[in-house]
Amino acid sequence: MPAISFVLLPGRHHLVTAFQVARLREILDGEARDEGGVAVDMADGAAIVWAPTSATHHGTRRNPVPANRREAMIEAASDAAGLISLVAPVPDVRRSPRFATTVVRSASLTLGVELDPATTVVACSTPEVAALYRELGYRIVAVEDSRDPEPARPWNVLELAVADATGWRDLVDPAALAYLERYRLIDLIRTVHTDPTVSADGD
């Protein structure tokens, strides 16, 4: 199989976990296998493509943090970890069988590169989402479900942060945490999640 140039990481990306950064480093270093057990051979200079979905939607429980803040947090975490990263925000669209196609085409257009199955693997641990990319011919590399027991996923960590549960900060990438605290984004997330007038999708 040809060497892979891009690792597509779709998601809402309201925070970045320490595990995510460690796992992405493993993938870029060629230490990961796809779901079929085949080693993922990475090209020199391969990059992570973060695709924050619902980039045109914020201020709700589903998407509390604006896309520009998410993008800056990803850049801060990537720079601190020495990850080669590209960020390609994806507009808010309804979940449909064409969701993966929309993400790929939007990210490819934003970055000016072709994120096709020959050059790209998809890092994903959400079965229904992974299935959409698999149908398009992409190889899937597990993230959280590459471990047993599974580490907390970003949304789980966000919920722990809302509850101010003990130890939640230890689960967040340090550079991402510093950014979230600098801009008081945890306060924003808590306000959005606890305000009874705010719904999952409404303003």
Report pLDDT digits (tens) over 150-162.
Answer: 999 999 999 999 9
Written as six digits, the tokens of 117 are 């199955």
* 96 — pLDDT class (breaks 50, 70, 90): confident
Q: Is the pLDDT of residue 60 over 90?
A: no
Q: Is the pLDDT of residue 197 over 80?
A: no
Q: Is the pLDDT of residue 72 over 90?
A: yes
| Per-residue model confidence as pLDDT tens digits over 161-183 | 999 999 999 999 999 999 999 99
- Percentage of the chain with pLDDT > 70? 97
* 117 — pLDDT class (breaks 50, 70, 90): very high
How crowded is residue 59: how many other Cβ atoms within 10 Å of its Cβ? 15
* 203 — pLDDT class (breaks 50, 70, 90): very low
Q: Is the pLDDT of residue 48 over 90?
A: yes
DSSP, residue by residue, 19-88: HHHHHHHHHHTT--B-TTS-B--EEEEEEEEEEES-TT--SSSS--S-HHHHHHHHHHHHHHHT--EEE-
- Percentage of the chain with pLDDT > 90? 86
* 49 — pLDDT class (breaks 50, 70, 90): very high
Distance CA 130, CA 100 (A): 9
56 HSE (CA, 13 A, CB side): 6
Distance CA 22, CA 197 (A): 38
